[in-house]
């Protein structure tokens, strides 16, 4: 069997990071089995569609280097891959069900539907359509349609039927058809509902494995009823647990932070780190390792091993992975990746010298600015920090002697700077901890910096001496 999987997003806004995780699973599963991965755009709800929605989806997938074999831009044997361009097809299939008596026209008005809902609620039942047009004579219905009346097409859901399917992740799942009301297949605007379109397309596009978020589980029995009504073979279903917020509570949502797939890249996460992170959310390879490439993932991933439980989107782990991936890059590769994050005014000629000093400490690429600003800009120095464990007189003396010592240097290098500073420390029997920390604060305004002597070297002679002079001119 040729494995065919798909991602079927709706163009309703920025792509969620969860959709990238879903795309990744569908993609590797197809590739692992030598199959194909299809991108289909489900744009049948025009009210929720956003401008450039399709472009946004493709841009996000491309940014994470997930490619598809067939799709709206590429075409393919089952094109078009945009549901809004397949409307006739859905109508034809709805007609087949009407002709077979498995679907019917319904003219219930908004008011009637509201009344049904209220009645059901008053009786403590879930609101649902009461089936009043199920047995309405077809000729009468057709006459009303010819007269221009609005209608929808509904599926005639059989009563008292058990609908079961085996979910690859969750095992046996059963529903009773009495829990399902007669689904709308074609809306009054002539567009199909998600349920009809998804089934028709998955069948016609020969999708073998439907892997999607678990929020679609309750739709699956409706889809199965449709497969049965058409007499089509069911695909394999796998419903994948959703991500929870980093604190493990509640579905990961926009309200709790930015969940847009592209925003992670904009925040300075590397795409390979995010992909690795998405791989191990809810799944671990047999040997429990956490760092793996796309090729390794493709070889080892098995749907059956996916966690049944929702997993927290553990940002700390993503940060850890990102650091690892950053450090795997050569300085040259890292420089390329950093380009968009290097602030205006940064002394480009010093990049080569500074980069190795901060590479270890970058969690995201965006940290670069904050970690390197003091190399080229004077930062405020707090006197309380400067005077820690020392009297103002001592600090002044230390600064003065350091200035004199360093001024004599011809070769401004970490080693020569170190020699001067260590000599002073020994000669005057200063406490090393206090003296070195005081210098760090004096030069950078910060307690946490790369190694002191290399930092002073990178700041440059003129600027370093100027910073000390400036401090000596101040009252403290
Ligand atoms: N259009 C649905 C979505 O936006 C597709 C769900 C499915 O994969 O069946 O997620």
Rounded to the nearest whole angstrom, what is the distance from the C-alpha of residue 25 to the centroid of ligand 1?
14
Rounded to the nearest whole angstrom, what is the distance from the C-alpha of residue 198 to the centroid of ligand 1?
8
ω into 80 cis (within 30 of 0): yes
DSSP 238-305: EEEPPEEPTTS-SB--GGGS--BHHHHHHTT--HHHHHHHHHHTT---TT------HHHHHHH--GGG
**To test ligand 1's pocket by mutation, which of 20, 57, 198 has the most ligand atoms within 8 angstroms of CB?**
198
Is the pLDDT confidence value at 85 over 90? yes
**To test ligand 1's pocket by mutation, which of 10, 44, 54, 236 has the most ligand atoms within 8 angstroms of CB?**
10
Which of 334, 212, 328, 322 minimizes the C-alpha distance to 277?
322
Q: Which domains does the chain have, with CATH numbers?
A: 254-334 (1.10.1160.10), 378-472 (1.10.10.350)
Q: Per residue, what are the HEC states of 151-212?
A: CEEEECCCCCCEEEEEECCCEEEEEEHHHCCCCEEECCCCCECHHHHHHHHHHHCCCCEEEE
**Ligand 1 first shell, C-beta below 6 A:** 8-10, 42, 194, 198, 212, 216
Rounded to the nearest whole angstrom, what is the distance from the C-alpha of residue 298 to the centroid of ligand 1?
23
Question: What is the predicted pLDDT for the residue at 258?
Answer: 87
| Strand pairing category for 152-155 and 103-106 | antiparallel
Rounded to the nearest whole angstrom, what is the distance from the C-alpha of residue 214 to the centroid of ligand 1?
11
The CA dihedral of 84, 88, 94, 98, to the nearest 10 degrees, is 150
- Give the Å distances, CA to CA, from 437 to 66, 370, 381, 407: 48, 19, 12, 20
Over residues 22-32, the mean pLDDT reads 97
Residue 198 Cα: closest atom of ligand 1: 9
Query: pLDDT tens, 376-425?
Result: 999 999 999 999 999 999 999 999 999 999 999 999 999 999 999 999 99
Q: Among 123-132, 147-156, 312-321, 347-356, which is the least confidently predicted range?
A: 123-132
Q: Is residue 71 within a helix (H) or strand (E), and if so which, with residue range?
A: none
Residue 211 Cα: closest atom of ligand 1: 8
Is the pLDDT confidence value at 1 over 90? no
- pTM for this prediction: 0.92
Provide the percentage of residues in the chain whose pLDDT is more than 90: 92
Among the options 251, 254, 400, 433, which is catalytic?
254
Over residues 448-473, the mean pLDDT reads 97
Respond yes or no: is residue 447 known to be catalytic. Answer: no
Question: What is the predicted pLDDT for the residue at 295?
Answer: 95
Report the DSSP beta bridge partners of residue 312. 244
Rounded to the nearest whole angstrom, what is the distance from the C-alpha of residue 343 to the centroid of ligand 1?
40
284-289 CB contacts, 8 Å cutoff, 24+ apart: none
Strand order, beta sheet including 162-167: 171-176, 162-167, 236-240, 209-213
Provide the percentage of residues in the chain whose pLDDT is more than 70: 100
CA distance 355 to 152: 64
Mean residue pLDDT across the chain: 96
Question: What is the predicted pLDDT for the residue at 255?
Answer: 67
Is the pLDDT confidence value at 148 over 80? yes
Q: Whose CA is nearest to atom 10 of ligand 1?
A: 9
**To test ligand 1's pocket by mutation, which of 4, 216, 219, 222 has the most ligand atoms within 8 angstroms of CB?**
216
Is the pLDDT confidence value at 256 over 80? no
Query: pLDDT tens, 163-215?
Result: 999 999 999 999 999 999 999 999 999 999 999 999 999 999 999 999 999 99
Q: Whose CA is nearest to atom 5 of ligand 1?
A: 8
Over residues 438-442, the mean pLDDT reads 98
Cβ(89)–Cβ(200) below 8 Å: yes
Rounded to the nearest whole angstrom, what is the distance from the C-alpha of residue 373 to the centroid of ligand 1?
45
**To test ligand 1's pocket by mutation, which of 44, 54, 197, 212 has the most ligand atoms within 8 angstroms of CB?**
212
Rounded to the nearest whole angstrom, what is the distance from the C-alpha of residue 40 to the centroid of ligand 1?
9
Q: Whose CA is nearest to atom 6 of ligand 1?
A: 8
Question: What is the predicted pLDDT for the residue at 343?
Answer: 97
Question: What is the predicted pLDDT for the residue at 303?
Answer: 86
Quickly count helices (H) and strands (E) in the chain: 20, 11
Report the DSSP beta bridge partners of residue 105. 153
């Amino acid at each position: 069997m040729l494995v065919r999987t798909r991602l079927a997003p709706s163009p309703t806004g920025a792509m969620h990071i969860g959709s990238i995780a879903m795309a990744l699973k569908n993609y590797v599963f197809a590739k692992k089995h030598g199959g194909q991965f299809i991108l289909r755009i489900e744009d049948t709800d025009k009210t929720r569609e956003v401008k450039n929605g399709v472009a946004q989806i493709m841009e996000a997938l491309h940014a994470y280097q997930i490619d598809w074999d067939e799709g709206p831009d590429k075409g393919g044997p089952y094109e078009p891959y945009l549901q809004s361009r397949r409307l006739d097809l859905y109508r034809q299939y709805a007609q087949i069900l009407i002709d077979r008596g498995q679907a019917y026209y319904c003219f219930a008005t908004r008011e009637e539907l509201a009344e049904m809902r209220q009645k059901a609620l008053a009786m403590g039942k879930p609101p649902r359509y009461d089936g009043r047009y199920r047995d309405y004579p077809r000729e009468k219905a057709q006459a009303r349609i010819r007269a221009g009346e609005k209608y929808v097409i509904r599926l005639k859901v059989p009563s008292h039927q058990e609908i079961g399917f085996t979910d690859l992740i969750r095992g046996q799942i059963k529903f009773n058809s009495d829990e399902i009301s007669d689904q709308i297949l074609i809306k009054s605007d002539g567009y199909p509902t998600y349920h009809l379109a998804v089934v028709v397309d998955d069948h016609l596009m020969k999708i073998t494995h439907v892997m999607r978020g678990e929020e679609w589980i309750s739709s699956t029995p409706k889809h199965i009823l449709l497969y049965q009504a058409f007499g089509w073979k069911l695909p394999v279903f796998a419903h994948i647990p959703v991500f929870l917020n980093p604190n493990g509570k509640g579905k990961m949502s926009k309200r709790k932070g930015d969940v847009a797939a592209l925003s992670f890249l904009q925040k300075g996460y590397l795409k390979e780190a995010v992909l690795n992170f998405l791989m191990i959310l809810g799944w671990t390879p047999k040997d429990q390792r956490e760092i793996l490439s796309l090729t390794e993932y493709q070889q080892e991933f098995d749907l059956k091993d996916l966690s049944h439980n929702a997993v927290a989107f553990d940002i700390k782990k993503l940060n850890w992975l990102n650091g690892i991936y950053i450090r795997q890059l050569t300085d040259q590769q890292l420089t390329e990746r950093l380009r968009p994050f290097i602030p205006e005014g940064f002394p480009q000629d010093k990049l080569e010298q500074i980069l190795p000093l901060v590479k270890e400490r970058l969690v995201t690429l965006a940290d670069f600015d904050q970690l390197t600003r003091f190399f080229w800009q004077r930062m405020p120095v707090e006197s309380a920090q400067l005077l820690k464990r020392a009297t103002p007189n001592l600090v002044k003396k230390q600064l003065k002697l350091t200035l004199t010592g360093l001024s004599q240097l011809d070769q401004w290098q970490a080693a020569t700077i170190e020699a001067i500073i260590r000599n002073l420390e020994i000669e005057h029997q200063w406490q090393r901890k206090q003296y070195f920390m005081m210098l760090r604060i004096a030069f950078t305004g910060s307690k946490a910096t790369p190694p002191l002597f290399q930092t002073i070297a990178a700041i440059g002679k003129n600027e370093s001496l100027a910073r000390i002079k400036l401090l000596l001119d101040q009252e403290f």
